[in-house]
């Protein structure tokens, strides 16, 4: 590996996992600041209704971007395997195909989202009193959504090659820019909720440009050359094969959460805002889990490419254990500090009560998320991304939506919506553990790898 990238196929597994995950975690932390800064500043300067408008758009944004982020994960698996095999020609073709796909897909998504913003918001029963603000925020954000898609693709390329440091540096810069612009636009110029979205997309554009410039200057196998940005049929097929299940999973989870958001929208604005604040907090709380999951995908992918199957298994087990310990530690802190943390986003007593109620219900169940995400990361790195897709689709999507709708018929209380998350985390974790215990996935990797080499 070049450019200071981490090679998971040799050396200490735990130390390399920590060295790779830490900047990845910090990078994701700064990425979360995009959305959190919007909610925090909007909630404090513009009030409950504006905060509810921003909150109601979160799941929609995840649903739209999630599919392409899943494809970026698939591309990362392809690139990680090629890196493990030291196949520079295959790396180059995969990188340039991935970027070409991101540009085209990002443009199409931008046009679609901008045109259909009002209809999309009506589909999730956005309350009339926050509809104008929701349209302003969502439409402005959608105008720059291509930068979000492109950044995640470029970051995925760097991560797959073992470089999680430079995306961190760029996110640190762009996050500071985002916060400064939020304060300037809203606090200084008195602009509306749409300006918070404008600050976010400007910052995302900056991080995308910095990542792209880094890849253009790279001396390693992931170096980008503008003339080579095009579709390679074989690599596009591989990327879609690995990434489509993850993309579908992300989109369907986003759709399910959007349907759940529709149920939340039936309650007062304080409950909507409280749930939105909690979702921002949860985004930070789950960062160690999601970061380790991404690291496990790269670890398993590189070792599979190098045919180091024993290291893949050992690294997978240790990564999930670390994730579980961290999940419970941050969950305990959230349980204790929930009210003051929620109050950072809003001084409204009803909003604080609603957000803290959800936080304390879910705080001690994050170890289940660690098991589910860790297992999904392992299986994606092993080329078995269909398995987590089916588990998440059936449990986190279908079952969650059915449970929420039936539960609210019996007892119309937000508490039942909150309880859907630990319940579905538990079910998916049990399924993953049974699958990994009963299916010899190490030999499955060997057979899959042999099939790819014959092809």
Residue 137 lies in a domain: yes
Q: Check pLDDT > 60 for residue 379.
A: yes
Return the pLDDT at 56. Answer: 67
* Digit-coded pLDDT (tens) for 77-96: 788 777 777 778 888 888 89
Return the pLDDT at 34. Answer: 64
Residue 306 lies in a domain: yes
Return the pLDDT at 66. Answer: 74
Task: Lowest mean pLDDT of 170-179, 326-335, 433-442, name the range.
Answer: 433-442
Tokens of 261: 């958001």
Return the pLDDT at 8. Answer: 74
Q: Check pLDDT > 90 for residue 105.
A: no
Tokens of 153: 């693709």
Q: Around 401, how many Cα atoms within 13 Å sit in the side-chain half-sphere?
A: 15
Distance (Å, rounded) from C-alpha 167 to C-alpha 169? 6
Return the pLDDT at 432. Answer: 93
Average pLDDT score over residue span 185-190: 83
* Number of other CB atoms surrounding residue 325 within 10 Å: 12
For residues 208 and 307, the model is more confident at: 208
Return the pLDDT at 237. Answer: 85
In contact, 101 and 247? CB cutoff 8 Å: no
Return the pLDDT at 397. Answer: 84
What is the 8-class DSSP label of residue 149? H
Return the pLDDT at 370. Answer: 95
In contact, 50 and 42? CB cutoff 8 Å: yes
Task: Lowest mean pLDDT of 126-130, 147-151, 369-373, name the range.
Answer: 126-130
Q: Give the CA distances from residue 181 to residues 28, 61, 187, 241, 396, in Å, rounded to whole numbers and listed in that order.
A: 20, 21, 9, 40, 36
Distance (Å, rounded) from C-alpha 171 to C-alpha 165? 10
Distance (Å, rounded) from C-alpha 110 to C-alpha 147? 9
In contact, 279 and 260? CB cutoff 8 Å: no
User: pLDDT-based confidence at 444, cuts 50/70/90?
Assistant: low
Average pLDDT for the chain: 82
Q: Check pLDDT > 90 for residue 333.
A: yes
Residue 192, classified by CB atoms within 10 Å of its CB into exposed (0-12), middle (13-18) or buried (19+), is: middle
Residue 7 lies in a domain: no
What is the 8-class DSSP label of residue 1? -
Residue 374 lies in a domain: yes
* Digit-coded pLDDT (tens) for 164-180: 778 878 888 888 898 89
Average pLDDT score over residue span 318-339: 92
User: pLDDT-based confidence at 455, cuts 50/70/90?
Assistant: very low
Residue 207 lies in a domain: yes
Tokens of 146: 């291509």
In contact, 3 and 216? CB cutoff 8 Å: no
**What's the sign of the alpha-carbon dihedral 373, 379, 384, 387?**
negative
Structural domain span for residue 262: 13-454
Tokens of 54: 């921003």
Residue 2 lies in a domain: no
Residue 5 lies in a domain: no
Q: What is the DSSP string of 75-124?
A: HHHHHHHHHHTT-HHHHHHHHHHHHHHHHHHHHHHHHHHHHTHHHHHHHT
* Residue 447, C-beta contacts closer than 8 angstroms, at least 6 positions apart: none
Q: Check pLDDT > 70 for residue 448.
A: no
* Digit-coded pLDDT (tens) for 282-306: 888 888 898 898 888 888 877 777 7
Q: Give the CA distances from residue 441 to residues 82, 90, 382, 387, in Å, rounded to whole numbers and listed in that order.
A: 20, 25, 8, 12
User: pLDDT-based confidence at 339, cuts 50/70/90?
Assistant: very high
Residue 88, classified by CB atoms within 10 Å of its CB into exposed (0-12), middle (13-18) or buried (19+), is: middle
Question: Into how many domains does the chain fold?
Answer: 1
Q: What percent of the chain has pLDDT over 70?
A: 92
Return the pLDDT at 152. Answer: 83
Q: Give the CA distances from residue 170 to residues 61, 204, 232, 275, in Å, rounded to whole numbers and listed in that order.
A: 22, 10, 29, 30
Residue 246 lies in a domain: yes
For residues 205 and 117, the model is more confident at: 205
Return the pLDDT at 348. Answer: 84
**Radius of gyration of the chain, Cα coordinates, nearest whole angstrom:** 21
* Digit-coded pLDDT (tens) for 192-235: 788 888 988 898 899 899 999 999 988 777 888 888 888 888 88
Q: What is the DSSP string of 159-183?
A: HHTT--HHHHHHHHHHHHHHHHHHI
In contact, 262 and 56? CB cutoff 8 Å: no
Distance (Å, rounded) from C-alpha 327 to C-alpha 322? 9
């Amino acid at each position: 590996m070049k450019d200071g990238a981490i090679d998971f196929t040799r050396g200490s597994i735990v130390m390399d996992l920590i060295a790779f995950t830490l900047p990845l975690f910090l990078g994701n932390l700064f990425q979360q600041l995009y959305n959190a800064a919007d909610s925090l500043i909007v909630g404090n300067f513009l009030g409950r209704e504006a905060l509810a408008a921003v909150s109601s758009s979160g799941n929609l944004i995840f649903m739209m971007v999630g599919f392409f982020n899943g494809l970026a994960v698939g591309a990362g698996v392809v690139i990680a395997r090629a890196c493990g095999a030291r196949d520079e020609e295959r790396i180059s073709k995969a990188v340039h195909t991935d970027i070409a796909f991101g540009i085209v897909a990002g443009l199409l998504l931008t046009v679609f989202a901008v045109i259909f913003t009002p209809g999309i918001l009506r589909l999730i029963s956005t309350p009339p009193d926050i509809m104008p603000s929701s349209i302003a925020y969502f439409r402005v954000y959608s105008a720059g959504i291509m930068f979000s898609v492109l950044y995640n693709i470029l970051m995925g390329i760097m991560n797959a090659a073992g470089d999680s440091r430079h995306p961190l540096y760029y996110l640190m810069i762009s996050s500071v820019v985002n916060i400064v612009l939020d304060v300037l636009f809203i606090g200084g110029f008195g602009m509306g909720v749409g300006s918070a979205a404008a600050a976010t997309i400007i910052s995302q554009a900056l991080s995308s440009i910095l990542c792209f410039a880094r890849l253009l200057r790279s001396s390693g196998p992931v170096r980008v050359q503008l003339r080579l940005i095009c579709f390679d049929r074989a690599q596009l097929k591989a990327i879609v094969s690995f990434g489509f299940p993850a993309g579908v999973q992300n989109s369907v989870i986003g759709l399910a959460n959007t349907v759940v958001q529709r149920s939340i929208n039936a309650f007062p604005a304080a409950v909507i805002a409280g749930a939105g604040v909690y979702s921002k907090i949860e985004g930070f709380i789950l960062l160690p889990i999601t970061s380790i999951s991404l690291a496990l995908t790269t670890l398993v992918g590189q070792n599979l490419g190098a045919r180091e199957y024993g290291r893949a298994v050992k690294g997978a087990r240790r990564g999930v254990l670390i994730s579980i310990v961290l999940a419970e530690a941050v969950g305990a802190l959230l349980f204790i500090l929930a009210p003051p943390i929620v109050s950072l986003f809003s001084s409204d007593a009803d909003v604080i009560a609603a957000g803290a109620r959800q936080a304390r219900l879910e705080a001690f169940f994050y170890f289940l998320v660690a098991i589910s995400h860790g297992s999904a990361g392992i299986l994606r790195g092993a080329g078995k991304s269909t398995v987590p897709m089916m588990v998440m689709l059936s449990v986190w999507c279908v079952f969650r939506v059915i449970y929420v709708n039936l539960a609210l018929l019996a007892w119309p209380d937000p508490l039942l919506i909150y309880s859907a998350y630990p319940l579905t985390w538990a079910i998916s974790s049990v399924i993953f553990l049974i699958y990994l215990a009963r299916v010899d996935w190490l030999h499955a990797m060997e057979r899959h790898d042999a099939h790819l080499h014959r092809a």
